[in-house]
Amino acid sequence: MTSAAAISLDEVSKVFPGSVSPAVNRLTLTIPQGQILALVGPSGCGKTTTLRMINRLEEPTAGQITVLGHDHRSAKPHELRRNIGYVIQQIGLFPHHSVRRNMSAVLELLKWSPDRIEQRINELTDLLGLDPALLDRYPSELSGGQQQRVGVARALAADPPILLMDEPYSAVDPVIRKHLHSELLQVQARVTKTIVIVTHDIDEAITLADQVVVMAEGGTIEQQGTPEELLAHPATEFVREFLGRERGLRRLGLRTVGQILRSPSRSSVPADLEPEDLAPEDLARVTADTPLREALDTILTSGQTRAVVCADGQKIGFITIEHIAEALRP
Ligand SMILES: Nc1ncnc2c1ncn2[C@@H]1O[C@H](COP(=O)(O)OP(=O)(O)OP(=O)(O)O)[C@@H](O)[C@H]1O
Ligand SMILES: [Mg+2]
């Protein structure tokens, strides 16, 4: 992971014709390469406008946008198509085209040969875990989650280094959404892109993003930081409010048992607390990759104050409510 900027906006403003106040007012923002950045903020604060300016679907009224080291104004349309994939709000698949045609649209514009397009569609189908039988259907014949995957596949078709996603998961239910989140993280682990994802859902931002930007009316940045930084130190009342209650619990969701288990080996278990000496059937059980939020719930639900940590059926240590509380201290 590198911290070089993939996209930077310098004092960028957008005033729509006929509007008095700017939709985006002097926005300065650096989007690091190879990371997922979540843009969150209330409805109408300028998130979509910002993505559309990055994708040159809107021209800024003032300011400068640099993408992959080049001034945006000099970019040619085919360079934009190759460099930036865009998953628009409400997915926006072409309804009269098959899934296959939806996925190949950009590649046809880029004049790829039919053989190469076919090969790329197979790769994308595989990457996103799409059933190949869906390729010849129309978007209306897919579930919301399937449409969403096709939307991402279409945006990734030309293998762009940058992916812009505007509320891509808002139309799918929470269970599917969770599944799609882990899929996106798996895709990111395989093909490392610079991803900007707009969302209203703070938990989605926390789950997916390396960096979170909280925006207020007029594209004003209230805070930019890692999920941990925001949750631990919200910079303003607006951010605090936006993050909602349960900031402590959300922070616990960012860490796993393994991260606070001093050394997850048998020999490291404190002498006064040999796991062999405990009655394991009475204890809650967790593993090293259990998120602390879940571990706390497991402990509380079982009416205990601690849980045994297991690996491959072996007890490797244990964790107490105290340990979990310590994880939140600076
Ligand atoms: N084409 C347009 N013409 C005039 N005003 C516009 C246009 N597009 C957006 N706006 C206005 O610009 C502001 C920002 O809109 P934008 O779509 O960027 O908000 P958003 O943060 O994406 O909101 P949401 O979360 O509801 O999608 C709003 O006040 C909106 O009404
Ligand atoms: Mg929007």
Taken in order of first residue, the domains within the chain and their CATH numbers are: 5-244 (3.40.50.300), 257-326 (3.10.580.10)
Q: What is the pLDDT along the chain (330 residues), one digit of tens a residue?
A: 445 899 999 999 999 999 989 999 999 999 999 999 999 999 999 999 999 999 999 999 999 999 999 998 888 888 888 899 998 877 788 999 999 999 999 999 999 999 999 999 999 998 888 899 999 999 999 988 888 889 888 988 988 999 999 998 887 788 878 888 988 899 899 889 999 999 988 889 999 999 999 999 999 999 999 999 999 999 999 999 999 888 999 999 999 999 988 655 544 444 345 555 556 555 789 999 999 999 999 999 988 888 989 888 788 888 999 999 998 887
Contacts of 58 (CB under 8 A, 6+ apart): 14, 49, 52
Residues around ligand 2, an ion, CB closer than 5 A: 48
Q: What pLDDT is recorded for position 143?
A: 86
Contacts of 284 (CB under 8 A, 6+ apart): 298, 299, 301, 302, 304, 306, 307, 308
Cβ(223) to ligand 1 under 6 A?
Answer: no
Cβ(16) to ligand 1 under 6 A?
Answer: yes
Q: Which amino acid is at 213?
A: V
Nearest-atom number in ligand 1 for the CA of 41 is: 21
What is the pTM assigned to this prediction? 0.86
Expressed in angstroms and rounded, the spacing between residue 216 Cα and the centre of ligand 2 is 13
* Token pair 């090293």: residue: 288
Q: What pLDDT is recorded for position 263?
A: 57
Q: What pLDDT is recorded for position 11?
A: 97
Residue 160 · residue 193 · CB < 8 Å: yes
Q: What pLDDT is recorded for position 330?
A: 74
Nearest-atom number in ligand 1 for the CA of 50 is: 18
Cβ(301) to ligand 1 under 6 A?
Answer: no
Contacts of 299 (CB under 8 A, 6+ apart): 284, 305, 306, 307, 319, 320, 321, 324
- CA 213: distance to chain centroid? 12
Cβ(146) to ligand 1 under 6 A?
Answer: no
Query: What span, in angstroms and rounded, lies between the C-alpha atoms of 128 and 294?
Result: 28
